[in-house]
C-alpha cells in the first residue's frame, strides 16, 4: 500500500496485482509451476531440504532457482537428481528499487533454464545478467570492495553524503551508506 500512498501506483492496480498472488503452505500447490525461486535464510541444510521437496512435486520443466547471495549452487543442488534445472536467481535489496537480477549458472545448468530465467527477469521488469557460480557471484564481488573503499574514504574525512552522491553519479541506484541506512531501518 505504500506505493499507493506515495502516488506511485493506483489503488486499482494495487488490488489487481495483489489478486494475482496466492499463498500456500502445501508443496502440492507447486505441481503446475514453471519457475520456483527459493528465498529462505542462508542455511545450506534448509535450502537442500527445500530443493529436495520441490523436486518431488514440481514438473520436470520447472526451473528450481535459489535467491542465495553466498552459497555455492552446486552445494544447494547436491542432494537432488535434477541438477540441470538449478540456477541462481539473485534479487538485490531493496528488490523493489534495485533493478539488477543476477542469474547464476552452474556447469550443469541447462541453457533453457537460463533462457527461462532471462524471460522471467524481463517480465518482472528487472535487468537480468547471467554470471558464473563463484564466491560472491558478480555483484557482491564488486560491492564489498567498493564498500570497503567507501569506509576508508570516511576514515580519511570525506562526508558519507558526498560519497553516496559520487557513487550514484556512476549509475548506482544508491550509495553504500544510503543502502546501509535503508537496510538497517527495516530491522
Bridge partners of 66?
38, 88
Tell me the helices (H) and strands (E) count for the chain, helix number first: 8, 5
Residue 94: cis peptide before it, omega within 30 degrees of 0: yes
Q: What is the mean pLDDT of residues 28-34?
A: 95
User: Which among 11, 68, 4 has a CA at the least distance from the CA of 39?
Assistant: 68
- Domain locations in the chain? 26-132, 139-185
Q: What is the mean pLDDT of residues 53-73?
A: 95
User: CATH second-level architecture of 26-132?
Assistant: 3-Layer(aba) Sandwich (3.40)
Looking at per-residue pLDDT, the higher value among 3 and 112 belongs to 112
Cβ density class 90-107: b for 16+ within 10 Å, e for less: bbbeeeeebebbbbbbbe
| pLDDT, tens only, 146-162 | 788 899 999 999 999 99
Query: Is-catalytic flag, 96?
Result: no
| pLDDT, tens only, 64-100 | 999 998 899 999 999 999 999 999 999 987 888 888 8
Q: Annotated catalytic residue: which of 85, 90, 105, 126?
A: 90
pLDDT at 27: 95
| pLDDT, tens only, 158-179 | 999 999 998 888 777 788 898 8
Q: Which three cell numbers stand for residue 45?
A: 541444510
The distance of Cα 100 from the centroid of its chain, to the nearest Å, equals 8
C-alpha 146/C-alpha 140 separation (Å) is: 10
Using only the alpha carbons of the chain, give its radius of gyration: 19
Neighbours of 133 (CB within 10 A): 20
DSSP string spanning 16-75? Answer: HHHHT----S-GGGGTT-SEEEE---S-HHHHHHHHHHHHHHS-TT-EEEE--SSS-HHH
- 187 — pLDDT class (breaks 50, 70, 90): very low
Amino acid at each position: 500500500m505504500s506505493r499507493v500512498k506515495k502516488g506511485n501506483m493506483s489503488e486499482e492496480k494495487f488490488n489487481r496485482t495483489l489478486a494475482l498472488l496466492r499463498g500456500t503452505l502445501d508443496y502440492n500447490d507447486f505441481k503446475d509451476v514453471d519457475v520456483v525461486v527459493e528465498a529462505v535464510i542462508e542455511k545450506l541444510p534448509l535450502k537442500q531440504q527445500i530443493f529436495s521437496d520441490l523436486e518431488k512435486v514440481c514438473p520436470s520443466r520447472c526451473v528450481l532457482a535459489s535467491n542465495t547471495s553466498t552459497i555455492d549452487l552446486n552445494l544447494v543442488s547436491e542432494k537432488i537428481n535434477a541438477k540441470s534445472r538449478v540456477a541462481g536467481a539473485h534479487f538485490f535489496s531493496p528488490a523493489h528499487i534495485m533493478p539488477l537480477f543476477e542469474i547464476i549458472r552452474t556447469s550443469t545448468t541447462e541453457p533453457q533454464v537460463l533462457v527461462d530465467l532471462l524471460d522471467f527477469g524481463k517480465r518482472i521488469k528487472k535487468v537480468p545478467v547471467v554470471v558464473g557460480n563463484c564466491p560472491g557471484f558478480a555483484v557482491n564481488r564488486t560491492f564489498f570492495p567498493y564498500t570497503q573503499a567507501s569506509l576508508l574514504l570516511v576514515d580519511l574525512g570525506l562526508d558519507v553524503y558526498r560519497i553516496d552522491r559520487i557513487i550514484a553519479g556512476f549509475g548506482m541506484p544508491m550509495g553504500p551508506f544510503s543502502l546501509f541506512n535503508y537496510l538497517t531501518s527495516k530491522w
